[in-house]
Amino acid sequence: MKPLSGTLGFGLVGTGVIAHNHAQAILALARQYDLQLVGVLGRSAAKAREFADKYGLPVASDDPESFFARPDIHVACILTPSGLHLEPTLQAIRAGKHLLVEKPLEIDLERADTLLDAADAAGVAVECIFQARFTEGAQAVKAALEAGRFGRLCLCSAYIKWHRAASYYSGWKGTLAIDGGGAVINQSIHAIDLLQWLAGMPSEIFAWKTRRVHSGIEAEDTACATLRFPDGAMGSIEATTAAWPGWERRIEICGESGSVALEDEQVVRWDFRDARPEDAEILARAAQNTARTGAGASNIIGFAGHQRQIEQMVIALRGGAPMPIGGRAARNAVALVRALYDSAERGAPVRISGNG
């Protein structure tokens, strides 16, 4: 990809909650990296204008053709509901825009592959938001894995025991056609992506799903799965939005020579058979990480994670380098989620193939 120079313009597609995270993150980086938040595209002209006025944006539009035709927009941030990502991405691709797509990339592999194939053919970059990878804790675990500190892995698991009130499930949330599912594809997608990024893509899954509490939605509010990895390690995924009061997201990576646990962004266990100099600082921070954030009870997140990821994307675009979490890598999370759902529907193990 050719490096991009000069002012880098961003256009937001969507005016929902997550659009505010993107706007704040881009504006926080604007001076340092010569970025401009050009404008916003919404289905409603009034909502687009309200959003643009809030952030002082010059452009508010409800016309995709004219919006994507703007030469001062180089990156389109696709912030529509999950199952409505494909159509605006194809419009942006036809206009030659690079893409920053909110998680998940799309709600099934057919739509994800259509998006990725079109981007490849047009030579535009695709980055997908999985900001949890960029936290200090996740980066430390990844480095330890790459250094071989765990030895042979035995159990690698993700636990997402969150609470969402019945009022949360309005509009498209919890629908099969637009949300693509429930607690697994929406709330648990970050943990699922982290698990496969750290431990590798599982080769087989056996899953169950149900609605225990949120009986008014189409999709599941609770799911459980057992994993088998290609090297023989095993693991599990537990996901719910029905657990009061909601606990922190937890990732556990356990091996013959070491085991760690992450709760949200923080290392809470860091145990290795052979100590290294960097362990002292990590252990000291882990000892302080005893306060519970209550993140599992909240639907509100800050924009710091988005800022870290968008910064890395901008650096890659400036240098003509591959995206930090390119579309093919982001496809793995969709593949794992769809395999979980497939197994739960069949009542049988399902083989998984990823391509990230």
Geometric angle at alpha carbon 259, from 257 and 260, rounded to 5°:
150
pLDDT of residue 259: 98
**Looking at residue 322, what DSSP letter applies?**
P
Is residue 137's pLDDT more than 90? yes
pLDDT-derived band at 177, boundaries 50, 70, 90: very high
Closest Cα partner for 251 from 197, 209, 170? 197
Q: pLDDT, tens digit, for every residue of 295-319? A: 677 777 899 999 999 999 999 999 9
Q: pLDDT, tens digit, for every residue of 112-131? A: 999 999 999 999 999 999 99
Q: How many CA atoms lie within 13 A of 113 on its CB side?
A: 6
pLDDT of residue 174: 97
CA 135/CA 131 separation, integer angstroms: 7
Mean per-residue pLDDT over the chain, rounded: 96
Q: What does R_g of the chain's alpha carbons equal in angstroms? A: 20
Is residue 147's pLDDT more than 80? yes
pLDDT-derived band at 293, boundaries 50, 70, 90: low
Give whole-number Cα distances, 145 to 91, 156, 258, 328, 331, in Å. 39, 12, 10, 22, 22
CB atoms within 10 A of CB 140: 20
Give whole-number Cα distances, 151 to 62, 145, 236, 349, in Å. 54, 9, 19, 27
Is residue 20's pLDDT more than 70? yes
Q: What is the mean pLDDT of residues 161-190?
A: 97
pLDDT of residue 355: 54
pLDDT-derived band at 356, boundaries 50, 70, 90: low
Is residue 292's pLDDT more than 70? no
Q: What is the pTM of this model?
A: 0.95
CA 308/CA 304 separation, integer angstroms: 6
The class (CATH top level) of 8-131+304-325 is: alpha beta
87-101, 185-199, 220-234, 292-306, range with the lowest pLDDT: 292-306
Q: pLDDT, tens digit, for every residue of 49-59? A: 999 999 999 99
* pLDDT > 70: percent of the chain: 98
Q: pLDDT, tens digit, for every residue of 232-288? A: 999 999 999 999 999 999 999 999 999 999 999 899 999 999 999 999 999 998 888
pLDDT-derived band at 354, boundaries 50, 70, 90: low
CA 184/CA 74 separation, integer angstroms: 32
pLDDT of residue 242: 98
Q: Where are the domains of the chain?
A: 8-131+304-325, 132-298+333-351
Could you tell me which residues come within 8 angstroms of residue 43 by beta carbon, excluding any fewer than 6 positions away? Answer: 62
The class (CATH top level) of 132-298+333-351 is: alpha beta
Is residue 132's pLDDT more than 80? yes
